Amino acid sequence: MIYTVTLNPALDYFMEYEQIEIGDVNRTSTTRMTPGGKGIMESRMLSLLGTPNTALGFIGGFTGQAIRDALIEQGITTDFTQIAANSRVNVKVKTVSEETSLDSAGPKLTPEDVEHFLQKFEFLTEDDIVVFAGTAPKSLGDDFYDRLIEAVVARGAQFAIDVDGQKLLRTLTNRPLVIKPNREELEEMFDVKFEHKEDIIPYGQKMLAQGAKNVMVSMAGDGALLFAGKKVYFAAPVKAEIKNSVGAGDSTVAGFISEWSKSKDPLKAFKQGVACGTAKVFSDDMPTEAFLEQCLNQIEITELV
């Protein structure tokens, strides 16, 4: 089974405008509300790909119930830890030229909430993959992902992780199945600036040497790189109208995990991951299966090293 972990789920409230006038009344042309959080986005893409998965995390209140109901309606199995506080609401404001995200901090968690959540990791097996993504609530402390990874490794399961900066680097000794920093995150992690995609190669190889089994580096409109074994691959970007970039990176990770769980082929997994991220960017919400297949057929991969 594939498990996705979202420690701070949200309802994402999308509002679209022609333009925003600060200090004035702005009337939206379109609104919609969807379950959000990086792991939840991964579950949604996995479900679209027909890959069974279970969404884990903390939810509470009427907002938490709305998150659970929406996922169940999409055919996603949920095993959330129920808490007393309300799950958060994030507001995503989009104009013709810009996207702005107004994110809530999220609820405080009790020691009892945490203990109930940790119990779910006692039943993992060697056949399971756990996908960690996004920030942890401050009440969980700075080392909570380390504790979760320790529980996964102790039971012989595999994990993928998509978190920021030094938190990502310190997970590498535990041999994550795949990591996916973007170019800007990589620059910050290693305090460098990349002018060309070739500049990234030594750093991707360094993360492999530090323990990652596969490394994807997304470069937005400039494509993506895969580091696997001694090989480096480049996926050329597909050009189209950007509609909603929220969840594109999460969709890339989900696409990789979905294919890898079936074929164990990192190159095929990379192609599907890039296709999923591409299709997500060019869709208002989740892409259709037909559009996802169309994007997959457009992905061109070349070997750089």
Which two tokens mark 279?
């299709």
Cα–Cα distance between 249 and 298 in angstroms, integer?
18
pLDDT of 284: 84
Do 193 and 219 lie in a common domain? yes
Phi, psi of 176 (to 5 degrees): -60, 145
List pLDDT tens digits, range 10-21: 999 999 998 888
Which two tokens mark 217?
């580096």
Do 226 and 305 lie in a common domain? yes
Containing domain of residue 42, as a range?
Answer: 1-8+36-86+104-162
Domain boundary among 116, 146, 162: 162
Q: Is the pLDDT of residue 235 over 90?
A: yes
DSSP string, 194-237: -SSGGGGHHHHHHHHHTT-SEEEEE-GGG-EEEEETTEEEEEPP
Residue 148 lies in a domain: yes
pLDDT of 61: 95
Do 300 and 173 lie in a common domain? yes
Query: Residue 94's pLDDT band (boundaries 50, 70, 90)?
Result: confident
Cα–Cα distance between 128 and 152 in angstroms, integer?
9
Do 110 and 186 lie in a common domain? no
Do 148 and 200 lie in a common domain? no
β 10-16/30-36 pair status: antiparallel
Cα–Cα distance between 99 and 94 in angstroms, integer?
4
Domain boundary among 146, 162, 178: 162
* Catalytic machinery residues: 250
Do 76 and 190 lie in a common domain? no
Domain boundary among 112, 142, 162: 162
Residue 24 lies in a domain: no
Q: Is the pLDDT of residue 192 over 90?
A: yes
Residue 96 lies in a domain: no
Cα–Cα distance between 159 and 161 in angstroms, integer?
7
Do 126 and 204 lie in a common domain? no
Do 123 and 228 lie in a common domain? no
Q: Could you tell me which of 170, 160, 164 has the C-alpha nearest to residue 39?
A: 160
Q: What is the pTM of this model?
A: 0.91
Query: Residue 128's pLDDT band (boundaries 50, 70, 90)?
Result: very high
Structural domain total, the chain: 2
Do 144 and 180 lie in a common domain? no
Residue 305 lies in a domain: yes
pLDDT of 156: 96
Mean pLDDT over 59-72 rounds to: 95
- What's the CATH code of the domain at 205? 3.40.1190.20
Do 170 and 157 lie in a common domain? no
β 2-6/53-60 pair status: parallel
Do 172 and 65 lie in a common domain? no
pLDDT of 286: 92
Cα–Cα distance between 233 and 68 in angstroms, integer?
38
Residue 60 lies in a domain: yes
pLDDT of 151: 95
Do 43 and 66 lie in a common domain? yes
Query: Residue 231's pLDDT band (boundaries 50, 70, 90)?
Result: very high
Residue 21 lies in a domain: no
Residue 15 lies in a domain: no
- Round to the nearest angstrom and report the end-to-end CA distance of the chain: 33
Cα–Cα distance between 76 and 90 in angstroms, integer?
21
pLDDT of 246: 81
Mean pLDDT over 287-297 rounds to: 95
Residue 285 lies in a domain: yes
